[in-house]
Amino acid sequence: MTLPLEGIKVLDLSRTAPAAFCTMVLGDFGAEVLKIEQPQRGDTRPLGSSVSPRGPEGEREAAFNALNRNKRSIALDLQSAAGARIFHQLARTADVIIEGFRPGVVKRLGVDYESVARDNPGIVYCSLSGYGQDGPYRERPGHDLNYISIAGVLGVIGDSAGQPVIPSNIVGDYAGGGMQAALGILMALMGRRLTGKGQHVDVSITDAVLALLTREASGYFLTGESPRRGRSRLTGALPHYNVYESSDGKYLSVACLEPHFYEGLCRTLGCEDFIPYREAIRQDMFDRLRKSFLAKTRDEWLEFFQGKDVCISPVYDLDEVFSDPQVKHRGMVVEMEHPGQGKVRQVGIASKLAETPGKVRSLSPLLGQHTREVLGGLGYSDGQIEEMYQGGTVQ
């Protein structure tokens, strides 16, 4: 089966989730992803969800870590002259390099875009950082929570009476940074087909998150009014676009925005007096819906609404998500056989391509699992490779 990114060679310098998610997406569709990892000394393991574990004790963790699937790993000390030399050998035949360091780090290591492009002008080199490669915040440290704060997302999540609600790190690290990096890389590869040249792709997670606020920003530019937490149509102001507790303490989401969905909700619950919706009934409708949904369990309500044209869904905990029939039908749970861990489940591939679908071809590697193989492919002899191991250049 053909994969759309077959033959695209990616060097992955990621240490944390955003860039690793990007290369996971590329790998799922056939790219040859090689993780360039830092050798680990002693028992200390660097922080970061994309850093490969070592040895048999790390086998189970690696097997279940979807971020590193479809990748190989070489442990290479980029701070050594020999390590930097090996990296540049690999970079000469690479199509893509992605790094997630703070601006300036790759320049100090001598593995930045300019130094690579001298030997490989076709390289697509993606730098993924919190605030971007320029601007007054370029060297400021941060994480997902900081980026979604500055971009305005955190300020609109939560109800009007409370403080902002932290939405895990899915908005900045994954939907923003990782996905935008993958998109930028693919566009640059398409551009290379037209111009024959590679380029530097500068992705700021803060920029990416702000781009996700396109609808809200458009409204602000139009009216001059900033959306307030819990007070706009899609952040909790509407009783028919909200979350309600059921009698068993579980929750349902109701999203009946269009008039026909709204009327269907009201007629199904016997609230015809709320048709049509007007601001004067808002609080009364909130009170009625809250009381109504407390009359049955969540699953009883789902059965009650079955077959009715009403936008209502269960609010799942993650342990319920992967048993949902729609999730299973769409292949969003994949099962792989691991030689040491047996059957391993991972989250599936979101984009469904009819002719060239993505595939989980291999599970995550251990740190340096492919070091000897990669160095051998570069022409190093067994003796030279052993010297590198002994000298700490590789692991």
Burial class (CB in 10 A: 0-12, 13-18, 19+), 56: exposed
C-beta neighbour count of 259 within 10 angstroms: 11
What three-state secondary structure class fits 99?
strand
| Catalytic residue (choose from 119, 143, 248, 284) | 143
The gap from C-alpha 166 to its chain's centroid, in whole angstroms, comes to 16
What three-state secondary structure class fits 228?
coil
In the numeric block, which tokens belong to residue 251? 């929750």
Measure the CA–CA gap between 376 and 384, rounded to whole angstroms. 10
Measure the CA–CA gap between 224 and 143, rounded to whole angstroms. 29
What three-state secondary structure class fits 196?
coil
Measure the CA–CA gap between 69 and 338, rounded to whole angstroms. 12
What three-state secondary structure class fits 344?
strand
Query: Quick check: is 143 catalytic?
Result: yes
In the numeric block, which tokens belong to residue 354? 């009819």
Strand order in the sheet with 251-255: 241-245, 251-255, 312-315
Q: Which of 374, 346, 343 is nearest to 358 (CA)?
A: 346
> How many helices, marked H, and strands, marked E, lie in the chain?
16, 11
| Catalytic residue (choose from 173, 207, 240, 370) | 173
C-beta neighbour count of 255 within 10 angstroms: 17
**Nearest 5°: phi and psi at 160?**
-70, -20
Query: Quick check: is 88 catalytic?
Result: no
Q: Which of 249, 278, 230 is nearest to 266 (CA)?
A: 278
Q: Which of 174, 278, 154 is nearest to 216 (CA)?
A: 154
Give the Å distances, CA to CA, from 155 to 204, 207, 231: 19, 16, 12
Catalytic machinery residues: 143, 173
